[in-house]
Amino acid sequence: MKHFRLILVFTLFLVPGSMRSAQGANERDSSFILLVVPESDTTMTSSAVYRLSASTNPGRRVTINGKSYKVYPSGAFAGLLGLSVGENRFVVTSAGSAADTISKSFLVIRSKPLETTSRDTLAIEDPLMEPSLDLWLNEGDELRVQFKGTPGCTASFLDGLPMRELSPSENGGLKGVYQGIHKILATDTLNNQSIALRLEDSTGRAVTRQTESRVSFKPREFPMVAVTKADRPALDFGPGEDRLGGAKLSFINPRVRLAITGKVGERYRVALSKNQEAWIKEDQVDILSAGTFPPHTQTGNITVSGDEKFDYITVNMGEKLPYSSDQELEPTRINVDIYGAVSNTNWIVQHNTVREIKNLYYTQVEKDVFRVTIELKHKQVWGYELGYVGNNLFVKIRRQPDRLKVKALTIALDAGHGGPNNGALGSTGSREKDVTFSTVMHLKRLLEKKGARVVLTRSDDTYPLNSERLKTVLASGADILISIHSNSVAVTSNPEESKGVSTYYKYICYRPLSQELLKSVVKTGLTPFANVGSFNFTLNSPTELPNALVELAFISNPEDEMKLMNDEFRKEIAEKIVDGIEDFLDYCDD
């Protein structure tokens, strides 16, 4: 019994607050070295540096390959390891007051940078080969071909189209990188073929390769007509990708018709108008049979009306066309662009049941882009939904709440990660999912005490997908959404350098909420890291309600981690978030 009690006290001492760490009590009882990043004993990277996040028993001395590291009161130690090309063996030692030095070693292997192909062999190599994805190209598109091979040769692609060798100075000293471009003509055809590459040396010896990617020239088949499917198809601005996916232009309804004019990898290019393009994932559309008319319609009457809860705008249309929206501040406006639509709108019928809409008008901004501009009475946009009823586009405008008090509102809270998804880990093994959940529980109690109705996207240690969380929020009719996460640096950054709180929004009209939250949370003493806009995060993506993401602090930073592991501090952050919501409501009331 005595032994049991001792372990318990020890654990509480090491991990303040109510949270358990990933490290078990038994291991904590004796000397340990916990390596969080790198995650495994052997790590491969192409980077010249690698992050270290680790911990040992508090009060011990740590060295790595003989160099001393600062050990924080939590036992955390962290830094950025420099890497040579090849194998880097690191030995961590942790020494206590007695002669009980323990050690742990791990390996980080930095891959060699690309080297110039030897002149002794005639070869076309795999790295740098373009196109790397399958392509469907239209008239006027460029087929861009690149490969790396023996320098100083003559390179060509397709049926003898010339390629040029880049000068090493354009290419970090690397020789033998060849590039060629072919602009697709109306008469070009190529049906799902790999591209033939050829390299010939001065003696006339030649080597050929085929790209793994397959290319089609389809000027005669474009535009193809597609129709959207799936839950919430997204139009991206470009074919780019990052950790959060490509930058989003618009979320649209199913059954919307799109003109397809190309494909890169798994994404179709969409011609929105004469001058504007977007991209959509292939699994979000069905291609209709050849001969289907491309999307295009004239607009009819516009009706503006209201019921007890919302204002509505209905644009009569002949078919479902793609749309996007943006917002302007001062004066407050929502612009809805409908692509492929030409005005034949001769009536804008405005009923006096409208309460939030001040003015509504349209502009034909391009010959095939019809823009509806909605001016609001209040400076804050409280949300709007866009979609179709039949072939008519509707905009449902949420009005400013009558009482700008927390007790009059429904507030949705999202605790990031959960269940098998731990989120980021701190140096002591603390888990982001526990920090977010605990903070959200404090927030819930504080908001309910003030009389608010609170909706949670998760109420236990489970992991609903972000798309499911969003559905929960939208179905609840919540007035405000706040998502809680904690930040972490990448494996190539120094965890001791980035710290503090940051808030995020996607749409400019919801920036004020994120700014008020940031202003308030820094009063806890956390460093202001940044206010980040255009953030491509699912729970920042609804236009339906004001929303913000709060990244409480950097769990990857040992000092921030200690704060996040302190339950009193989490409660204090929650109090400041509540204050921030109230400051936002005051801002709206001005």
Point out which residues bind Zn ion (CB under 5 A). 416, 423, 485
User: At its nearest, how many Å lie between Zn ion and the CB of residue 246?
Assistant: 20
User: At its nearest, how many Å lie between Zn ion and the CB of residue 143?
Assistant: 40
DSSP string, 354-409: -SSEEEEEEEEEETTEEEEEEEESSSS---EEEEEETTEEEEEEEPPPSS-SGGG-
Asked, as a colleague might, if the bond just before 38 is cis with ω within 30 of 0, I would say yes
Nearer to Zn ion, 226 or 456 (CB): 456
Instruction: Tell me which H or E stretch contains 2.
Output: helix 2-14
8-state DSSP, 289: P
Nearer to Zn ion, 152 or 419 (CB): 419
* 10 CB burial (10 A radius; 0-12, 13-18, 19+): middle
Residues ≥6 apart with Cβ < 8 Å to 207: 122, 123, 124, 149, 198, 199, 200
Q: Angle at Cα 144 formed by Cα 237 and Cα 45, nearest 5°?
A: 75
**Kind of pairing between the strands at 285-287 and 161-165:** unpaired
Tell me which residue has its CB nearest to Zn ion: 485
CB count in 10 Å sphere of residue 483? 25
Nearer to Zn ion, 299 or 486 (CB): 486
Nearer to Zn ion, 292 or 493 (CB): 493
User: At its nearest, how many Å lie between Zn ion and the CB of residue 417?
Assistant: 6
Q: Give the span between the Cα atoms of 269 and 262, in whole angstroms.
A: 5
Q: Give the span between the Cα atoms of 19 and 24, in whole angstroms.
A: 12
User: At its nearest, how many Å lie between Zn ion and the CB of residue 436?
Assistant: 7
User: At its nearest, how many Å lie between Zn ion and the CB of residue 424?
Assistant: 6
Nearer to Zn ion, 417 or 576 (CB): 417
Nearer to Zn ion, 75 or 416 (CB): 416
User: At its nearest, how many Å lie between Zn ion and the CB of residue 456?
Assistant: 16
**CB-hemisphere CA count at 13 Å for 570?**
27
Nearer to Zn ion, 320 or 469 (CB): 469
Nearer to Zn ion, 226 or 553 (CB): 553
Nearer to Zn ion, 174 or 564 (CB): 564
* 503 CB burial (10 A radius; 0-12, 13-18, 19+): buried
What the block records as the tokens of 375 is 């001016």
User: At its nearest, how many Å lie between Zn ion and the CB of residue 291?
Assistant: 48
> Residues 187, 105: contact at Cβ < 8 Å?
no
User: At its nearest, how many Å lie between Zn ion and the CB of residue 524?
Assistant: 19
User: At its nearest, how many Å lie between Zn ion and the CB of residue 555?
Assistant: 9
With tokens 């090849």, the residue in question is: 86
